[in-house]
Homo-oligomer: A and B are copies of this chain.
Amino acid sequence: MTNDVNRVAHADLVRFITSAYHAVGIPAADAEKAAELMAASDISGADGHGVFRLPQYIRRIKAGRLNTRPDIKIIRQAKATALVDGDNGLGSLVVSRAVEEAIALARDNGVGWVGTRNGNHAGAAAVYAAMPLQHDMIGLYFAVGNANHLPPWGGIDMLLSTNPIAVAVPALAEPPLILDMATTVAAYGKVKVAAQQGKTMPEGWMIDRQGNPLTDLNRADDGFLLPIGGYKGAALALMFGLLAGTLNGAAKGADVVDFNKDDTTPTNTGQAICVLDIKAFAEPLAFKRQVDAVIRQLHGSALLPGFDRIRLPGEDRHQRIEERRAHGIPIPPELRAALDKMAADLAIPPLFA
């Protein structure tokens, strides 16, 4: 299956990303770790957050505006919290360091909360929220998006981002429940993927500055994303953005750098991770059994006309991971072309030999 021109094996993708990172000066161990974290977005179906972003990351690194040898360190701490300075390194390395710290803090204290500053775009939120699961812990992750595509409710100045919220809760026999959502109806990554594939947008994703629906992807720059639930989604973006950004001394509001257009200004991206140790509240085995029961109860609901099943958060992700582990990760032709060009520029072997 991995011979299929459109699909690549996970290990091959990791190898490719590693060699690209290594080619621009990232030390081997960091390059491999960051590659694993990027490919974790791809294998789980977060196609707007994985290797799709690699050429953009590489451009920024080649412009000298992303630190390939960052000194990622804790600059402020309390007994159960820490503030990590990412020293403008790869977002994945900064956030994974924060998650590791939060897991250690939660082990000692029941809960750990770690914020980041001076990071960068880190990929799919679910990747980080899910890390605590294997420790019988719950993860909550908030981030400031790397481009402002959302105005305050009632406004047209794009001062907010799609700030994602992710929550991961383990089950026992069932797949874990993992919510990873933009606070907008569509994530901007989805808009970018649709644009690359030459599609149009459904109504409800974006409106223009007059408040009219915007579906033409060529006009995406003339409008902005719609928040979920109107003012509620804009408020979620604001409040969790304050926790991920402002509280950590990271960019927020007008300070946010549009990293889709600007490869040179440091983004000072902020994220926050909160980890809860289940055993501080309940016996983990009993808790996970109860989560199974909740999942089965919800699956058992009678259906609304037009639906063929109840789809719970994390379920599609889980199925995609299984499918892509077995059959490889699909790489659309436009993405393959972009990656081929990047590989040629970096003088590394292409993704598909």
A-B CB contact pairs (8 Å), 12 listed: A76-B280, A81-B276, A115-B281, A152-B299, A154-B304, A156-B302, A159-B301, A167-B239, A238-B294, A242-B291, A246-B287, A253-B298
Q: Note all chain B residues with C-beta closer than 8 A to A231.
A: 311, 313
Q: Which B residues lie within 8 Å of A311 (CB)?
A: 153-154, 231
Q: 9 tightest A-B contacts by CB?
A: A78-B110, A228-B229, A155-B301, A81-B110, A154-B307, A157-B301, A80-B109, A78-B280, A80-B80
Within 8 A of B (CB), among A120-156: 138, 151-156
Interface: A1 (CB within 8 A): no
Chain B residues lying within 8 Å of A21, measured Cβ to Cβ, are none
A312 at the interface (CB under 8 A from B): yes
Residue A278 is within 8 A (CB to CB) of chain B in the complex: yes
Question: For the complex, is A353 an interface residue (Cβ under 8 Å from B)?
Answer: no
A177 at the interface (CB under 8 A from B): yes
B313 near A247: Cβ-Cβ < 8 Å: no
In the complex the two chains form, what is the Cα distance from A291 to B181 in whole Å?
24
Q: How many A residues touch B, CB cutoff 8 Å?
A: 81
Tell me which of B278, B294, B298 contacts A155 (CB under 8 A): B298
Q: For the complex, give the distance between the alpha carbons of A247 and B246 in Å.
A: 30
Kindly state whether residue A188 has any CB partner on chain B within 8 Å. no
Bound Cα distance from A112 to B111, whole angstroms: 7
Q: In the complex, which residues of chain B have a beta carbon less than 8 angstroms from the beta carbon of A236?
A: 165, 179, 181
Question: Is there a chain B Cβ closer than 8 Å to A309's Cβ?
Answer: yes
Chain B residue contacts of A112, Cβ below 8 A? 80, 111
Does residue A61 face the partner (Cβ distance < 8 Å to B)? no
A37 within 8 A of B: no
The B-contacting residues of A in range 227-264, CB under 8 angstroms, are 228-229, 231-233, 235-236, 238-240, 242-243, 246-249, 252-254
Nearest residue, chain B, Cβ from A113: B111
Alpha-carbon separation in the docked complex, A312 to B253 (Å) = 14
If the complex has contacts A157-B301, A311-B154, are A242 and B78 also in contact, measured as CB distance less than 8 A? no
Contact B78 A109 (CB under 8 A): yes
The reply to whether B113 and A110 contact each other, CB–CB distance below 8 Å, is: yes
User: A220: which B residues are within 8 A, CB to CB?
Assistant: none
Instruction: List 6 additional A-B contacts (Cβ < 8 Å) besides A152-B312, A181-B236.
Output: A81-B280, A156-B304, A167-B239, A167-B240, A210-B305, A238-B294
